[in-house]
C-alpha cells in the first residue's frame, strides 16, 4: 500500500533472500543503489502521469459499493487509491491489481493470497482488510481500513529519536499485532518504519494516546495452507518487498522463517526509534545484508547515551543473530516490556531532581519509589515515578508536614492536650502503687 523507497529498498527473489541483480538472482536487476536518484525520479514521474490519466478515478466497484476517488501510489503488484464506501460515507483504501498482471495466474494467486492473509489478522493494531473481490472485466481489488497519522519513518524524520517510554509503548503495540498474527500462523516478514503508522486517539480517561497500526500483512507468509493452487515455480518468481536494514539474518540467508524473524525486525524498529537510525545502514545492499548476518550491532546508548540500560538489553536481545537467543514469542516480548513499564511507572508529575508531591486533605505527602535507583545505569534524567493507589499509600515512605499557624494558638492547644494526657498517666501510676486511682 505504499510506493517503494528506492534508496533503501530492494525486491527479493522468492525466499532466497538474494537482492535483484545480485549473483544468483533469478530476476532482472533493479538498478542498485547507484541509480537511486534516477529510480526515484522515474517513480515520481510515473505516479504523476498515472494520476493525471487514471482509468479508475471516479469508477464504482463491487456493484456500486465503493467509489474510487483519488490515486495515491503504486507498487509492484498494483495501484492504491483513496475510495469511499458510498452507503456508510466512509473513506477506505482500495488496492487494484495492475491490468498487465491479470493474465498471470501466479500473480493473481499472490494478490488473492495477500488479501486472505491480511483479512485473517483482526486486531486493533493491524489495518483491517474489509473486502476482496473481482469485477466483471477481471479487475481484482482489495479494500482496507483508511487510517490517518504518520509513519514511524516520517515521525522520526520530523522529531528525532523517541523518548524511551514512547519507544516501549510503540514496540509493545507492534508486539501485540504480531502476537495476533503469529497465533494464526502468519509471519509479516516486512516490518519497517514506512509500514507502521502512529495515530493519535483519545483514551478512556480523556488523555491523548498513541495507537499503532501495522500495514501490509498482505505480503506475509502463510504457514498454514489457504487452499489455493500453487503452481510449479511459484516460489521462484514470487517477489517480496523488503528493506535489508530490517531483515533478520535467516531472512538474509534465504533460510526458513518463523515468528522470531519478525521479532528481530521488531528489534531493528526499536533501535531505529530510540536512536534515529537502524542498527546497520550505509554502503551497498549486499554489505548491509552481510552485516545483518555477521556483525554485532553497536549498543543503542552509543548513539543516545540517555537510553536506559534495561531497554537497551531488550533491544539487543531482539537483535540476537540466532533465533534461539531472542525472545521466543511476541507474548514474551510484550511481557518484558510490560515489566519495564511497571518498573518505570507512569510519566506524569515528573520533575528533575525532586520526588513526587501530591495533595491529601491539605497535607503535603512526599512519596518516594522504594525501587528507585535499583539499577544505577537505568535512570532517566528524572527519577522513576509511581502512581500510588489510595489503599496502598500507607506502605510507601511518607513524609508529612502540616503548615504552622501564624498566631500561635495551634501550639497552645497542643500543649494543653499534652498536659491533660500527662496528668492521666500520673493518676494511673499512683493507683497502681497506692490502691487508688484519681483522674483529674
Separation CA 212–CA 200 (nearest Å): 9
Identify whether the C-beta of residue 99 lies closer than 8 Å to the C-beta of residue 219: no
Q: Which long-range contacts (CB under 8 A, 24 or more apart) does 402-406 make?
A: 402/362, 402/363, 403/362
Residues noted as catalytic: 190
3-state secondary structure string, 15-28?
CCCCECCCCCCCCC
Report the C-alpha dihedral over residues 378, 383, 385, 390, rounded to 10 degrees: 130
CA atoms within 13 A on the CB side of 296: 5
Spatial separation of the C-alpha atoms in residues 22 and 2, rounded to whole Å? 24
Q: How many other C-beta atoms are found inside a 10 Å radius of the C-beta of residue 433?
A: 7
List the one residue out of 177, 174, 176 whose CA is nearest residue 128. Answer: 177
**Which value, in Å, is the radius of gyration of the alpha carbons in the chain?**
30
Q: Tell me the C-alpha distance between 343 and 345, whole Å.
A: 6
Amino acid at each position: 500500500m505504499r510506493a517503494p523507497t528506492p534508496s533503501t529498498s530492494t525486491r527479493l527473489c522468492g525466499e532466497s533472500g538474494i537482492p535483484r541483480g545480485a549473483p544468483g538472482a533469478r530476476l532482472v536487476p533493479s538498478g542498485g543503489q547507484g541509480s537511486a536518484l534516477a529510480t526515484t525520479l522515474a517513480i515520481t514521474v510515473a505516479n504523476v502521469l498515472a494520476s493525471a490519466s487514471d482509468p479508475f478515478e471516479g469508477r464504482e466497484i463491487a456493484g456500486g459499493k465503493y467509489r474510487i476517488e483519488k490515486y495515491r501510489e503504486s507498487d509492484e503488484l498494483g495501484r492504491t487509491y483513496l475510495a469511499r464506501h458510498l452507503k456508510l460515507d466512509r473513506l477506505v483504501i482500495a488496492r487494484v491489481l495492475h491490468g498487465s498482471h491479470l493474465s498471470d495466474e501466479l500473480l493473481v494467486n499472490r494478490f488473492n493470497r495477500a488479501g486472505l492473509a491480511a483479512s485473517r489478522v483482526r486486531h486493533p493494531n493491524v489495518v483491517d482488510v474489509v473486502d476482496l473481490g473481482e469485477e466483471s472485466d477481471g479487475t481484482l481489488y482489495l479494500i482496507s481500513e483508511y487510517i490517518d497519522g504518520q509513519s514511524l519513518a516520517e515521525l522520526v524524520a520530523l522529531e528525532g529519536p523517541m523518548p524511551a517510554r514512547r519507544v516501549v509503548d510503540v514496540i509493545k503495540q507492534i508486539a501485540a499485532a504480531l502476537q495476533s498474527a503469529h497465533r494464526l500462523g502468519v509471519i509479516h516478514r516486512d516490518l519497517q518504519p514506512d509500514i507502521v503508522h502512529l495515530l493519535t486517539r483519545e483514551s478512556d480517561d480523556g488523555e491523548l494516546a498513541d495507537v499503532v497500526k501495522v500495514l501490509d500483512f498482505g505480503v506475509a507468509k502463510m504457514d498454514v495452507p489457504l487452499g489455493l493452487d500453487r503452481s510449479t515455480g511459484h516460489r521462484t518468481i514470487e517477489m517480496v518487498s523488503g528493506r535489508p536494514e530490517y531483515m533478520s539474518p535467516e531472512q538474509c540467508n534465504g533460510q526458513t522463517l518463523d515468528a522470531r524473524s519478525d521479532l528481530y525486525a521488531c528489534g531493528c524498529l526499536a533501535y531505529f526509534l530510540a536512536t534515529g537510525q537502524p542498527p546497520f545502514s550505509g554502503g551497498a545492499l549486499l554489505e548491509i545484508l552481510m552485516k545483518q548476518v555477521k556483525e554485532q550491532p553497536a549498543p543503542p546508548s552509543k548513539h543516545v547515551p540517555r537510553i536506559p540500560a534495561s531497554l537497551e538489553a531488550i533491544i539487543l536481545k531482539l537483535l540476537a543473530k540466532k533465533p534461539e537467543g531472542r525472545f521466543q514469542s511476541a507474548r514474551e516480548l510484550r511481557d518484558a516490556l510490560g515489566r519495564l513499564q511497571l518498573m518505570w511507572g507512569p510519566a506524569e508529575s515528573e520533575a528533575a531532581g525532586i520526588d513526587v508531591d501530591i495533595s491529601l486533605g491539605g497535607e503535603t505527602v512526599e512519596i518516594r519509589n522504594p525501587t528507585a535507583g535499583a539499577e544505577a545505569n537505568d535512570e532517566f534524567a528524572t527519577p522513576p515515578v509511581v502512581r500510588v493507589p489510595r489503599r496502598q499509600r500507607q506502605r510507601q515512605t511518607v513524609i508529612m508536614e502540616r503548615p504552622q499557624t501564624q498566631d500561635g494558638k495551634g501550639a497552645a492547644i497542643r500543649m494543653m492536650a499534652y498536659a491533660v494526657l500527662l496528668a492521666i498517666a500520673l493518676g494511673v501510676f499512683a493507683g497502681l502503687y497506692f490502691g487508688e486511682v484519681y483522674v483529674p
